[in-house]
Amino acid sequence: MNGKGGDSNLIKEYTKGLTLRTNVALASAVTAYSRMIINDHKLTALNSGANLYYSDTDSMVIDQELDSSKVDPAKLGYLKLEHTIEEGIFPLPKVYYLRTTEGHQS
């Protein structure tokens, strides 16, 4: 610090407009819990013979349908089928190309 409030003014400038209603501990706990849930779903898929091509905190790409007991778009912690993929390329985490059977590309 330079004793004249320079650093604190800089911090105020960079954080202007940001809400102070954040809780890093809570966000970390939610993310950790969601990883536990998705890992359970991945193990279920792998144990049923599916190939796992990609996964993230809230999603996975496999080559077969999941057991219906794991799928319910209205329930927290369950999965929903968002797309049927015709082609997918997954070179890096969070970097992928998908072409769905509906003709969408992302």
The CA radius of gyration of the chain, in Å to the nearest whole number, is 21
pTM comes to 0.69
The candidate with the shortest Cα–Cα distance to 99, out of 82, 84, 87, is 87
pLDDT (tens digit per residue) in 15-41: 777 766 778 899 899 999 989 999 999
Residue 31: partners with Cβ closer than 8 Å, 6 or more residues away: 57
Mapped onto helix, strand or coil, the DSSP state of residue 59 is: strand
Neighbouring-strand partners of residue 96? none
Tokens 């797309």 sit at which residue?
Answer: 83
What is the share, in percent, of the chain residues with pLDDT greater than 70?
A: 92
pLDDT (tens digit per residue) in 71-80: 999 988 888 9
Is the CA virtual torsion 25, 33, 98, 71 positive or negative? negative
The answer to whether the CB of 77 falls within 8 A of the CB of 37 is yes
Residue 98 has pLDDT above 80, yes or no: yes
